[in-house]
Structures are given as C-alpha cells and as structure tokens.
Amino acid sequence: MICVGIARGRHRHMIAEHKFLADNGIGLVELRLDFIQGKVQVKRLFRSRPCPAIATCRRAADGGHWAGSEEERQLVLRTAIVEGTEYVDLEDDIASQIRRYGPTKRIVSHHDFHKTPADLASLHKRLADLDADIVKIATMSNHPSDNLRMLEMVQSATVPTIGICMGDIGMPTRVLTGRFGSPFTYATFHEDRLLAPGQIGWRQMRDVYRYDQIGAATRIYGVVADPVGHSLSPVVHNAALAAAGIDAVYLPFRVPAEQLDEFVWEAGRWPLSGLSVTIPHKEAILRHVTTKDDLVTAIGATNTLTFTPDGISAHNTDATAAVESLEAALQRQGGEGLVDVTAVKSALVLGAGGAARAVAFGLRKRGIEVTVCSRTVERAKRIAAEVGCKAIDWTARYKVPYDCIVNATPVGMHPLVNETPFEKEHLRPYMVVFDTVYNPENTLLVKEARAAGCRIVTGVDMFVRQAAIQFRLWHGVDPSETVMREALKRATASAKLPG
Ligand code: NAP
C-alpha cells in the first residue's frame, strides 16, 4: 500500500487533495498537520474523511513545520485520536506521553536526517517497546549498505515495521520496503513538493515502480551511477517490464566511486539480478566480473551486468545499439545513395568520451572508416589507437566530407538546445546524421540535418535499442520498443531533465 503525504497550508486544500487521492484509488494518506497555517481544525480534516489517514504533526527538529508550542502540538494529536483517525504518528520521545485510546493505531517513529545508526536492532526494540502497532524508522543513507541494513531490519522485525532510508542513495528502500515486509511506504502528493529527501511522487511510485505489485519474488534490476537522479533508464525499463508482465522492478542506485566495490560485493543481499552501468563506473566495475563479451573486452567498458549463481557477466550494448540504430534508420528512410550500413564508408565521430568510444568501435567493426574528433585531441588519439581509426582536432572537423556524422558530445542537450556541434553549412543531403543526444530527441543538429535532406538517427533510437538489448539479455524476451520509446518521450517531455 502507498501512503501519500498531504502537506498544505489551508484546510480546504488538504481536504481537496485527500478526496482527489481517495478518488484515484489511494487507500491511505498522511495528513501533515504541521503544515496548516493558523489553528488546526482537526475535526474538519478528519470528520467524513474519504479514506483512512495518519495524523502527523512534526516539529522542525524532525523535519516538520510546526510553529506552535509542544503542548499545543500534542493536543492536536490527541484530538485526532479522539476523532478516530486510523493511525497517529508519535515520535519516540513523546510516544509514552500520549496513551492508546480507541481504535487508533500507534506508529512510533524515529527520524535521523544525518545518518543511519549502526545499531538499528536496539533502536527498533526501543521503539517497539513504546506500545507501537507499527514502528517507523527513517534515516539518512550515506552508503548503499545502509539501505541493506534497513531492509534487513524490516525483514527480521516481529512488529510491523516501515524502514526507509532518506536521500538519493536511499531511494531504492522506498520502493523495496514492502518487498521486505513493511505494511506500506510513503510518497508525496506532488513530485515537486518533497517532504523528505529522496521521496518520490505517488504516481511514480504506483505507475513507474508498480509498488503494489512488488512481492518477495520480484526480481531486482537497476542502474548504478553517480549521480543517478537524472537517469531515464528506470522509466524505460519499468514500462517495458509492465507491458511484458514480468515480475521485476528496475531502480536507480546512486553509488559513489569509493563505495562501488562494497556495493557489488553485497549484490546478493538485495539480491540484484542485473545492472545497467553508467558514469563513472563503466570501467571500474570490470574488476568484479567473471565473464565479458567480446565488445567489453575490446572497448574496456561495460554498460550491462548480469548476476548469476556462477558469477557476474558483463556486456556492452551501446556499440551494438549504435550500429543497429544506423542500420534500421537507413532501411526505414530508404532514398537515394546509402541504403544500408555497408554503403557508409566514412564516419566522423564528434567527442571522445564513453559514447564516442562505443560508437567508434561499433562502426569500425562494420568496416567503416572512422575519424574521432575532439576538443581534447589526446582523448581522440587514445580512442583512435584502441579502435584502429584516425583522430583529428575539433577545429579540423569540416576539412574533409564524411558519409556519416555522429554527435557523441553533450552539445545540443537540454538546456543548451540552441547549440550544434556541426554547423549547417557543412551538412550535405547524402550524409547520415546520427545525434546520440536524446533529450531532446529533435536537437538543433537533427532539425538542421533533416532540413538539409540528410537521413537521421536519433539518440532516442540508440537509447531505446541499448535498453532493449539489455532487456533481452536479462529476461530472455524482446521488449516492446514502442512502449520504451513512448515512456522515454513522455518522461523527457514532462520534465526537462538533463540527459
Ligand atoms: P563523456 O565521457 O563526458 O564525453 C563527452 C565528450 O564530449 C568529451 O569528448 C568532451 O570533450 C566532449 N564535449 C563536451 N562538451 C563539448 C563541447 N561544448 N564542445 C565540444 N566537445 C564537447 O560523455 P559520454 O558518456 O561519452 O556521453 C556523451 C553524450 O552522449 C551524452 O551527453 C549523451 O547525450 C550521449 N549518450 C547517448 C546515449 C544513447 O544511448 N543515446 C548513450 C550514452 C551517451 P572534452 O574531453 O574536451 O571535455
């Protein structure tokens, strides 16, 4: 069950949101009474409530907004109990001062906005002993192993327990706490109105992560990165999992570089079934793998791990996705001249980072003559030596014409949407223009190339394809690429996220 926190300053707004949520199938809300401006009219909020509620009134020290006295705060909570609220949230230091009354269940809570205490078991016992129907512990996660300790505490508890880690490192615990036995999790009413660090909105919890369908057998996948908050992989993979009816969930795991080893060593405790790997871990994580495909060996970087009883296997789906996207675009767009990828003889790859390296490698493998062009020419030279291609300086990119231009720099990505890495004067109708940037899909380069009559491959084509190859590796079936594409487009349209 998802409990949605409602934090509004006016009674009528709180009542309206409560009704809206009940009408949308939400079965429990948390009324954050500390947000009400002026005197809290408890009866007005709780009488004829449209669905069950938790009465919560937080002090500033616990992350709340309560401005009145402690005596008044406790009176508000007592009044909510008298009104028969289904649950009341009592912080551990006041739980013994507010006695059990009527059918209201007591949530005895503890918050730590700085750390996850070392001894969660003792903390849990102390809270449970305060006549708790439910124990709630919410602590800041500073390390992925904090998350595991929290979830394992929930799993071993004999009293119903909600265990959540805050912060973006802790985000997976919000989605997985039910899998480990929590009676419910918390989400916010609105994505932009977060009540605690790392929280997500109820629609995302319900529709993207499918919280209510996660059970003990649900397999866990995710993307490991730092930062990870902007990643669109959860949106794409979870949409495809839902469409295919697969019992699995895909989560964002923020893991700082210095915590990567421990995160991988502890993979069996979640347990993790597969990971997408992105910046900055694509190379470092290879020290943990048991087997690598040929592309990983050649490129020296992985973007896909699969966990099996025999160990960890590493794949690289970026290079294959780049070539397959090019092939598909040429077939789809037909036209004069280049009809398939074998007709592309020369390609200019702009940029010399991870994407450039994977694309250069994939194109080179197909026999295409590749030139890598970078602001930092040493990086281009390094790729050229590894891949067996040419390297040129950024200023030399217009000197020779190429069949295919690939943008593997962030130029053109939101918010710099009015920039292009390749001026339109140099575009020719016979060229294939491949922009790996996917947010937005129609970059300035893509728009100008289309206007010049070029054939186009977009970053959305490549992103969806690399995710689809991962999906096939992990689940043994083809995902709906249409579903993935639509989910990606919706996400980039609704939130102008950095790529
Ligand atoms: P990266 O490792 O940071 O490399 C970025 C490259 O772009 C570097 O060579 C950098 O040059 C160059 N660059 C950055 N800003 C530039 C500018 N203003 N002008 C010229 N060159 C510039 O990043 P990455 O992982 O390769 O990703 C690059 C882009 O590829 C991303 O922004 C993303 O949009 C796209 N991408 C797409 C997919 C997909 O599936 N569609 C997958 C991965 C990446 P310096 O070395 O001189 O800084």
The CATH number of the domain holding residue 56 is 3.20.20.70
- Contact between 163 and 170 (Cβ < 8 Å): no
CA of 436 to the centre of ligand 1 (A): 9
Do 31 and 118 belong together in one domain? yes
Residue nearest to atom 3 of ligand 1 (CA): 353
Question: Could you tell me if the CB of 27 is within 6 A of ligand 1?
Answer: no
What DSSP letter does each residue of 467-499 carry, written as one string?
HHHHHHHHHSS---HHHHHHHHHHHHHHS----
Do 345 and 389 belong together in one domain? yes
Asked, for residue 105, whether it belongs to a domain, the answer is yes
| Residue 349 buriedness (CB in 10 A; 0-12 / 13-18 / 19+) | buried
The CATH number of the domain holding residue 271 is 3.40.50.10860
Domain that holds residue 435: 320-457
Mean pLDDT of 149-177: 97
pLDDT computed for residue 493 by the predictor = 79
The CATH number of the domain holding residue 364 is 3.40.50.720
Do 306 and 407 belong together in one domain? no
CA of 48 to the centre of ligand 1 (A): 56
DSSP-assigned letter for residue 201: B
Q: How far apart are CA 81 and CA 31, in angstroms?
A: 13
Active site residues: 111, 136, 282, 318
Q: Tell whether the model's pLDDT for residue 497 goes beyond 50.
A: no
Do 268 and 344 belong together in one domain? no
Q: Which atom of ligand 1 is nearest to the CA of 352?
A: 9
- Collapsing DSSP to helix, strand or coil, 199 comes out as coil
Asked, for residue 230, whether it belongs to a domain, the answer is no
Q: Which residue, chain included where needed, has tokens 């932009």?
A: 192
Round the average pLDDT of the chain to a whole number and report it.
94
Band the pLDDT of 496: cuts 50, 70, 90: very low
Alpha helices in 26-166 (DSSP H): 42-46, 70-82, 120-128, 144-156
Q: Tell whether the model's pLDDT for residue 191 goes beyond 90.
A: no
Question: Could you tell me if the CB of 374 is within 6 A of ligand 1?
Answer: yes
Q: CA 136, 142, 144 angle in degrees (round to 5)?
A: 85
Do 353 and 267 belong together in one domain? no
Do 244 and 201 belong together in one domain? no
Question: Could you tell me if the CB of 487 is within 6 A of ligand 1?
Answer: no
- Contact between 143 and 167 (Cβ < 8 Å): no
Asked, for residue 205, whether it belongs to a domain, the answer is yes
Q: Which atom of ligand 1 is nearest to the CA of 278?
A: 25
Do 342 and 264 belong together in one domain? no
Domain tally, the chain:
3
Q: Tell whether the model's pLDDT for residue 378 goes beyond 60.
A: yes
Do 207 and 69 belong together in one domain? yes
Do 476 and 438 belong together in one domain? no
Do 307 and 177 belong together in one domain? no
Question: Could you tell me if the CB of 375 is within 6 A of ligand 1?
Answer: yes
Question: Could you tell me if the CB of 351 is within 6 A of ligand 1?
Answer: yes
Asked, for residue 419, whether it belongs to a domain, the answer is yes
| Half-sphere exposure of residue 117: CA atoms within 13 angstroms, side-chain side | 13
CA of 353 to the centre of ligand 1 (A): 6
Q: Is the pTM of this model over 0.85?
A: yes
What region, left, alpha or beta, does residue 119 occupy, with left being phi > 0 and alpha being psi -120 to 50 degrees? beta
Do 280 and 253 belong together in one domain? yes
Domain finish residue from 216, 249, 267: 216
Residues 478-488 have pLDDT tens digits of 999 999 999 99
Do 17 and 155 belong together in one domain? yes
Q: Tell whether the model's pLDDT for residue 123 goes beyond 80.
A: yes
